[in-house]
Structure 1
Amino acid sequence: MHPCRVLFICTGNSARSILSEATLNHLGKGRFEAFSAGSQPTGRVNPYALEELASAGISTENLSSKSWDRFVDDGAPPLDIVITVCDSAAKEPCPVLFGDFVRSHWGLSDPASVHGNAVVISQAFQHAHTIITYRLMALLNLPVESMTRDELQHALDHIGTIGDDEDDLT
């Protein structure tokens, strides 16, 4: 069986989806293969996302802000899971991608929308990355290879709530 292929999608593909892609590739070590994309990519990865990943010892090589078009074209890698990471609570538009894969929504506030000095912004990226890491650890603990689509869907939807309550992270 090929690695479980996961696509993280948001609008700009500069922060949350990039953090998710790099972290899952780092933690998944061949069992998972992660990608990220945006419906309206910014064209650049947020430097605070790169700084956060580097400080966690996660490679930033080959990360880029890209369109989801490359995942629906002929020759695109087959996907098993697609996860949107936009913040619907902030009325941020969530992209929709169609295909034969399990979909889930892991809403998360956009650290790139935080205003303030460098310390405040770095803290926002660190907080977002902490939530992402907790969620990805829960994903890594799933026996995805033997789960039914319904079981996987239910588990992914539950994982998407981790971090909604700050007590989840203690």
Structure 2
Amino acid sequence: MTDKPSVLFVCVHNAGRSQMAAGFLNHLGAGRIEVRSAGSTPADRVNPVAIEAMKEVGIDISAEQPKILTPDAVRESDVCVTMGCGDTCPYFPGKRYLDWVLDDPAGQGIAAVRPIRDEIERRVRTLIDELIPGESA
């Protein structure tokens, strides 16, 4: 592990919410935070509507691929943010766990995904402020 704080975003398919959150944290964190994302049952590809929604705010997540959640990914992260994956996330004492209750963008149109994206951005900005006090995103 590095001296930087590390965050793992987890959702079921690692195709929408967790990919958008990782995109925001990579962009807004500007290299100050190590970012990972994974899913308990990864999809074949990132949700195209999530990609479109993120492009609208200048963040390109089109090259990302859904990844399987592993115990090592959790073990190597300081903070694990779950988004609807329930009990499938391994638990390790000493880790900080957050559960963000967010609508699933799967099967939704762009108009329904925008508010989800915007709420994820708000929460990511708050998380950055908690992990790196005094350095607002």
Q: Give TM-score scaled by structure 2 length.
A: 0.84
The 2-side partners of 1:133 and 1:34 are apart by: 15
SS at match of 1:30: coil
Q: Is 2:110 aligned against 1:95? A: no
Q: Is 2:120 aligned against 1:128? A: no
2:99 to 100, 105, 115: 105
Q: Tell me what 1:81 maps to.
A: 79
Q: Give TM-score scaled by structure 1 length.
A: 0.69
- The number of equivalent residue pairs is 131
SS at match of 2:89: coil
Structure number with bigger Rg: 1
- Give unpaired runs (5+ residues) of structure 1: 87-91, 115-120, 147-170
**Structure holding more helix per residue:** 1
CA contact (8 A) 1:84 1:95 kept: no
- Give unpaired runs (5+ residues) of structure 2: none
Q: How much has 1:56 moved relative to structure 2?
A: 0.9
Q: How much has 1:15 moved relative to structure 2?
A: 0.3
1:56-111 deviation line (CA, Å, top 9, x unaligned): 11132541111012x527xx88210001011xxxxx74532223421110110102
Letter matched to residue 19 of structure 1: M
Percent of aligned positions that are identical: 31
CA contact (8 A) 1:26 1:59 kept: no
Q: How much has 1:139 moved relative to structure 2?
A: 1.4
Alignment of 1:1-170 (within 5 A): 2-60=3-61, 62-69=63-70, 72=72, 78-86=76-84, 93-99=86-92, 100-114=94-108, 121-142=109-130, 144=131
The 1-side partners of 2:75 and 2:63 are apart by: 17
